[in-house]
Structure 1
Amino acid sequence: MNSYWVGNEPRFSDRAEAGRVLARQLGQYAGRSDVIVLALPRGGVPVGYEVAQALAVELDVLVVRKLGVPHNPELAMGAIASGGALYLDEQMIRLAGITQAQIVDVLGDERRELARREALYRGQRPPLKIEGRTVIVVDDGIATGSSMRVAIAALRTGKPARIVVAVPVAPEGTAERLRGVADEFVCPHSPRQFGGVGRFYRDFGQTSDAEVSALLARSRQDIL
């Protein structure tokens, strides 16, 4: 299956093809033991699998949970991510008057949910180590970039050597918005008119939990 065009804009046939296209722009990281691909579940995993396969590097999931402000959970005061990474927005915490006890309560709830999701995807296998490594963070696309920003902020606390954000499609100007958060931004298609990630795929069906688990298991077998 190959990408096709509608007007003057390319569409990917599916996430797997998007991952193969993306991997071609990441060749400098191929075969390096200090490189790891972390995919955001669920939709980022089929993309990340193809990237990891092409580069012959390890693949894992980066499960991220937003820490919502009490009584307004849509407003983020931070985030947690796989591997114990924690990011707290101290300015938001001060402005919202959030107490330490409230932070502890929210953290407890979200850590339990993160642990549940990680167990679902990887079983008892611990997260891959990121300290001192180059981490390529992959998703199937970026819309506003807000989720990716908090994901990277949380990941940064794990002390990776370098963070590369790699996505098949994102709005024009996303690289500028992510400057200072990621060390590098790789994106083969950055249209001016966006309108959502899904419009750049012919098949943008929901990725299942079973598919995520299967791709992670297959990747581990391929690396061994």
Structure 2
Amino acid sequence: MNGFQGFSDRTEAGRALARELVARDYPRPVVYALPRGGVPVAFEVAEALDAPLDLLMVRKIGVPWQPELALAAVVNGDRPEVVINEDVWRAVRVSEEAFERAKAQELETIRQRRALYLQGRERPSAAGATAIVIDDGIATGATMRVALKALRRASPERLILAVPVAPADTVVRLRAEVDELICLATPTPFQAIGLHYRDFHQVSDDEVIVLLDRRQGAAAR
């Protein structure tokens, strides 16, 4: 495990990331969490940077007759971004009508989750900002790659990916998607993300709402 003993919980991981990010003194930071597990980590970073905290929500659009095969993914709901899996798109024949129907279903799911979590709060703009994307860890990087591609389209000045733990080969692949990548640990062999935390409980909707409310309240003061 290269001497890495793991994190006690997401809060500790977030504070460790925050120490790295504060030292870089990014201009106009906006922190984006992948819910739900990324929210407690991102909260600590947003607190340390005194930055807005938003959610980056990704939903897979599966092939209708083989849902586990990702045809595309949609990110966020207010101004949705769709990222197509070109290899799968060329290999299967899905009608435009079927694709639009599947996309609409996933967008509605995002809309409902966003309404639950953010309760109508205005979203910060990524345009011209230092957008910092955070999760509690990365395994293959497939979901994160989609999220980064979509956020890049929002024209941030810089796009930063910061995670506590990930496999070294995934880190190498994702560097091409961002201006800077910070990963605190790349243990070998890499195991499931949760095995690198002593407490890796499933984050609840209520926890997400409380943390977003706390950050919103702090930003308003």
Shared fold (TM-score, shorter chain, > 0.5): yes
Give the drift of 1:88: 2.2
Matched, 1:74 2:68: yes
Give the drift of 1:155: 2.1
Q: Give the partner amino acid of 2:204.
A: S
Equivalent residue runs for 1:15-164 within 5 Å: 15-28=10-23, 30=25, 32=27, 34-82=28-76, 83-164=79-160
Contact conserved, 2:2 with 2:187, CA < 8 A, in 1? Answer: no
State the percentage of identical aligned residues. Answer: 44
Q: How many residues align?
A: 218
Contact conserved, 2:165 with 2:193, CA < 8 A, in 1? Answer: yes
Partner of 1:167: 163
Say which of 173, 184, 187 aligns to 2:183.
187
Instruction: Work out the CA distance in 1 between the residues paired with 2:24 and 2:81.
Output: 24
Structural RMSD (CA):
1.8
Give the drift of 1:148: 0.8
Instruction: Work out the CA distance in 2 between the residues paired with 1:129 and 1:114.
Output: 18
Contact conserved, 1:31 with 1:57, CA < 8 A, in 2? Answer: no
Structure 2 residues without counterparts, runs of 5 or longer: none
Stretch moving more, 158-167 or 116-125: 158-167
Contact conserved, 2:2 with 2:188, CA < 8 A, in 1? Answer: no
Q: Normalising to structure 2: TM-score of the pair?
A: 0.92
Q: Flag the 1:217–1:96 CA change in 2: closer, same or farther, 3 A.
A: same
Give the drift of 1:102: 1.7
Instruction: Work out the CA distance in 1 between the residues paired with 2:19 and 2:144.
Output: 22
Contact conserved, 2:14 with 2:40, CA < 8 A, in 1? Answer: yes
Instruction: Work out the CA distance in 2 between the residues paired with 1:7 and 1:30.
Output: 29
Q: Secondary structure at the match of 1:164?
A: strand
Q: Normalising to structure 1: TM-score of the pair?
A: 0.90
Contact conserved, 2:74 with 2:82, CA < 8 A, in 1? Answer: yes
Give the drift of 1:28: 4.7
Q: Secondary structure at the match of 2:154?
A: coil
Partner of 1:3: none
